[in-house]
Structure 1
Amino acid sequence: MNSIISLASVLILTILILYLSYIFTKSLGKGIGLKRGGTHMQMLDRLPLGQDKAVAIVQLSSHYYLIGIAASQITLLAEIPEEEIDLEGYESSPLSGAEGYLDFKKLLKKYSDRHKKDE
C-alpha cells in the first residue's frame, strides 16, 4: 500500500513540475523577440499563418507597414496609418525585446557563476 501512495505522489509531483515549467516558460517567452530591431526599425507584432508563413507589423521611423512573410519572399501588403496602430500594447516591458534578453543573460550568468563557486 505504501508503494502505491509513494508512486502516486511521485506522479503528481512530476505532473505539477511539468505544468509549472510550461507556465513559466510561456510567460517568460511572451514578449521576447517581438520588439527586437535596430534604431529605426522594429517588428511590433507577428502572426504565424502556417509553416514558414506569417504576417507582421513593422515600424520604420514613423511609418507602419503590414508585410507578408514566406519562406522565399517578403511582400508589402499595406501601409498602416499611425492613428490605426494601438501603441499601448507595444510599450516596453522588462521582458520584451533585446533588453529582456540581456536581463535573462545576466541572470543566467549570475546563476552559473554561483553554481561554479559551489563546486
Structure 2
Amino acid sequence: MNSVISLVSVLIVTILILYLSYIFTKSIGKGFGLKRGGNYMQMLDRLPLGQDKAIAVVRAGSHYFLIGIASSQITVLAELTEEDIQNSLNIPNPQDKDGYPDFISILKKYTDKNRKDS
C-alpha cells in the first residue's frame, strides 16, 4: 500500500513538473520570438530563396521597400509608396487592418516593370 501511494505521488509530481515546464517555455518563447512589427516599421512578407538568402517587403511609415537579405548584407531592391501599391494593385489600405499587399503581386509588378525598361 505504501508503494502505491509513493508511485502515485511521483506520477503527480512528474505531471506537475511537465506542465509547469510547458507553461514556462511558452511564456519565454513569446518574449524571444521573431517580432514581425513595431510602431513604425513592419515586415509584411518574406520569401526564403536559399540558405541565408531571402527577399522581403518591409513597411516603414508610408513607404514600402522590397529588400534582398543575405547573410552579410541587406540590399534595397525597390522603394515603393503606399499610394503606388494601392493604385496599381487595388488593395485595401494596410492601416485599416483588413489586409496587406500581396507579396507575389508586388514582386511581379516590379519584375514586369524592369523587363519593360530593358
TM range, normalised to the smaller chain?
0.3 to 0.5
